[in-house]
């Protein structure tokens, strides 16, 4: 007699959908990249977007933050009336290597500083520097605040970039291949950090090329193929064969 099937136990997530994407469409020249993508991310949830190169994963995030203009559909972010709707970190970290770690994090708040203050990092107000130190503490790098950013390892620099994003006070954090340039240990640390931030109530969506990391840290796996979502479910609900199929011939345009 076979053993009874076990019911998958997913991490609890908040019910409120903070990021809501409906019918998102995007075409570059004559190439359709997104075909009616629907995606929601709740407060306290970490969603991993998986798929082959060209499947549309990064384009979804770029449309959310305005780096790409969607051709159709809607994007809405709850609780973003008086603050940026979404902050984003990238595979290319883009820190100012000659500046201190703290100055780089303070730069996340340039959008809410006066023009006079934003011209000079030395003019960052004390309250902002204290806030930035708190953000560095959240990513475990408060002790490196006064080091030059260029002296940090790749994994540490990505954590600084996340702290800079936190300084934007956005309710949604987007990460576009945040660990692809990191060694396995640093990648694990960055994913653990994103997991903790989601547990603190931020809605997190991350584009990944490492299904094993996604399974360990994400609440939900979303698979894209040829600009469409082909599956969405908890790691326990998505079979290995479904994930492998994303990367077979025809998975990207």
* CB-CB contact of 185 with 37 (8 Å): no
Nearest 5°: phi and psi at 63? -70, -35
* CB-CB contact of 46 with 206 (8 Å): yes
Smallest CA-to-CA distance from 179 within 165, 168, 196, 192 is with 192
Q: pTM for the full model?
A: 0.87
Residue 173's contacts (CB-CB under 8 Å, 6 or more residues apart) are: 86, 87, 88, 89, 162, 165, 166, 194, 197, 202, 203, 204, 205
Other CB atoms within 10 A of residue 248 CB: 9
Smallest CA-to-CA distance from 164 within 218, 199, 121 is with 121
SS3 per residue for 141-209:
CHHHCCCEHHHCCHHHHHHHHHHHHHCCCCCEEEEECCCCCCCHHHHHHHHHHHHHHHHCCCEEEEECC
Q: What is the pLDDT along the chain (253 residues), one digit of tens a residue?
A: 333 333 333 444 445 789 999 999 999 888 899 999 999 999 999 999 999 999 999 999 999 999 999 999 999 998 665 556 899 999 888 899 999 999 999 988 887 766 455 545 566 888 999 999 999 999 999 999 999 999 999 999 999 999 999 999 999 999 999 999 899 999 999 999 999 999 999 999 999 999 999 999 999 999 999 999 999 999 999 999 999 999 985 444 4
For 68-102, the pLDDT digits (tens) are 999 999 999 986 655 568 999 998 888 999 999 99
Burial class (CB in 10 A: 0-12, 13-18, 19+), 173: buried
If DSSP codes are grouped into helix, strand and coil, which group holds residue 42?
Answer: strand
Structure tokens at 96: 């100012």
Domains of the chain by start residue, with CATH: 15-85+171-253 (3.40.50.300), 99-169 (no CATH)
Give me the chain's average pLDDT, please. 87
For 42-55, the pLDDT digits (tens) are 999 999 999 999 99
Q: Which secondary structure element, helix H or strand E, spans residue 24, and what is its range?
A: strand 17-28
Structure tokens at 239: 């079979």
CA–CA distance, 33 with 30 (Å, rounded to integer): 10
């Amino acid at each position: 007699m076979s053993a009874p099937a076990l019911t998958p136990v997913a991490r609890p997530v908040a019910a409120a959908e903070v990021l809501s994407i409906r019918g998102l469409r995007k075409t570059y020249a004559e190439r359709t990249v997104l075909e009616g993508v629907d995606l929601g991310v709740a407060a306290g949830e970490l969603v991993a977007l998986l798929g082959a190169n060209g499947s549309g994963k990064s384009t979804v995030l770029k449309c959310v933050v305005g780096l790409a203009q969607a051709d159709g559909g809607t994007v809405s972010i709850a609780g973003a009336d008086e603050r940026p709707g979404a902050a984003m970190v990238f595979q290319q970290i883009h820190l100012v290597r000659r500046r201190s770690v703290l100055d780089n994090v303070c730069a996340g708040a340039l959008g809410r500083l006066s023009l006079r203050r934003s011209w000079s990092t030395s003019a960052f107000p004390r309250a902002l520097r204290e806030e930035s130190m708190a953000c560095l503490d959240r990513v475990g790098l408060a002790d490196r605040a006064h080091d030059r950013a260029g002296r940090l390892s790749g994994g540490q620099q990505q954590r600084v970039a996340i702290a800079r994003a936190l300084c934007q006070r956005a309710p949604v954090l987007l990460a576009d291949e945040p660990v692809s340039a990191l060694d396995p240990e640093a990648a694990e640390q960055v994913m653990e950090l994103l997991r903790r931030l989601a547990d603190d109530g931020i809605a997190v969506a991350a584009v990944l090329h490492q299904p094993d990391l996604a399974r360990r840290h994400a609440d939900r796996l979303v698979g894209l193929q040829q600009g469409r979502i082909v599956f969405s479910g908890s790691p326990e609900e998505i079979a290995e064969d479904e994930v492998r199929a994303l990367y077979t011939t025809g998975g990207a345009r």
